[in-house]
Amino acid sequence: MKFAFVHSWRHRWPVELLCRVMDVSERGYRSWRSRPISRRERTDMKVLAHIREQYRLSLGS
């Protein structure tokens, strides 16, 4: 979760600063980025896409 936060804000703030604030190593962050997406994460992304689509179809109700 911390690495995902760093990744999502990397265009706004330096990675070095984000890693320091989140108390993670830059090396760990770069290692995390180079790993392939896990089966669980792929499944979670599919479920989330389905939820968003259903929400959109319900007109946000």
* Three-state SS at 43: helix
Q: Is the Cβ–Cβ distance between 32 and 3 less than 8 Å?
A: yes
- Tokens representing 12 are 């706004």
pLDDT at position 14, please? 97
pLDDT at position 61, please? 66
Q: What does the pLDDT profile of the chain (61 residues) look like in tens digits?
A: 899 999 999 999 999 999 999 999 999 999 999 999 899 989 999 999 999 999 999 986 6
pLDDT at position 1, please? 87
